[in-house]
Amino acid sequence: MSRKLVAEFLGTLWLVLGGCGAAVLAAKFPEVGIGLVGVSLAFGLTVLTMAYAVGHVSGAHFNPAVTAGLVAAGRLRAGEALGYILSQLLGGIAGAAILYLIASGNEGFSTAAGFAANGYGAHSPGGYSMAAAFLAEFVMTFFFLLVILGITSSRAPAGFAPLAIGLCLTLIHLVSIPVTNTSVNPARSTGPALFVGDWALGQLWLFWLAPLAGAVVAGLVHSWLGAVDEVAEREAAARLAAREPGEPLAPATARPPR
């Protein structure tokens, strides 16, 4: 378990440092700024790279909403979720702290410029309302979890999950950066908000509530769409692996009616 928690810490740190770092340091850099598309790619690439690097250790959540969605879908025991979320939160704060130290090396730096914090109303990049921000975060997280749960299914092509998840996160940012600066991840929102303070902390509740709600609903929908069959398959595989040589196979359990 300790290895899983360290992997989640490092993955979330990299997500915040890479994604928010692209927004703070490179998005509007004179003459060679990477802009909205570049920042969207940066967030997607952080998840893609760390999912390949440590996904085999912890499952590569790097996001409390992903952890909550996996619990709702029956993919993770509730008892493990708290440790995952705490590690992700600490990783997000550490990533923001490293970014703050780097950015502070520029004399003109100030967190008053936003520090990639998420916001709505006057603090939305496009001036979107609280209701619009909540809906965007809920829906984007819902579909993010559907993609994650679907591509990590035992029936999905093996080896492509990090690529699909990274591209999905890139798409989400391309759509929703103008609305909220894109969260879909409470740990990503918390790190920068702690350094901005003031309005960012006051609006942080939305970037916990909306992603968590969207993720849990996605987990339940995924289960309803057929995850029961996947659970049965995994249990059968576990029984087969634990079977003593020569021991007869247990009869298959009938699938519950839909």
Angle at which helices 186-196 and 206-222 pack, to 10 degrees? 180
Over the stretch 24-49, which tens digit does the pLDDT of each residue have? 998 886 666 788 899 999 999 999 99
188 and 20 in contact (C-beta within 8 Å)? Answer: yes
CATH superfamily of 2-239: Glycerol uptake facilitator protein. (1.20.1080.10)
User: Whole-prediction pTM value?
Assistant: 0.84
Q: Which of 172, 170, 152, 174 is nearest to 161 (CA)?
A: 152
> Letter for the amino acid at 244?
E
Angle at which helices 78-103 and 186-196 pack, to 10 degrees? 40
Over the stretch 126-184, which tens digit does the pLDDT of each residue have? 999 999 999 999 999 999 999 999 998 877 777 888 999 999 999 999 999 999 999 99
Neighbours of 11 (CB within 10 A): 28
pLDDT tier at 65, thresholds 50, 70, 90: very high
- Residue 152 tokens read as 């990590």
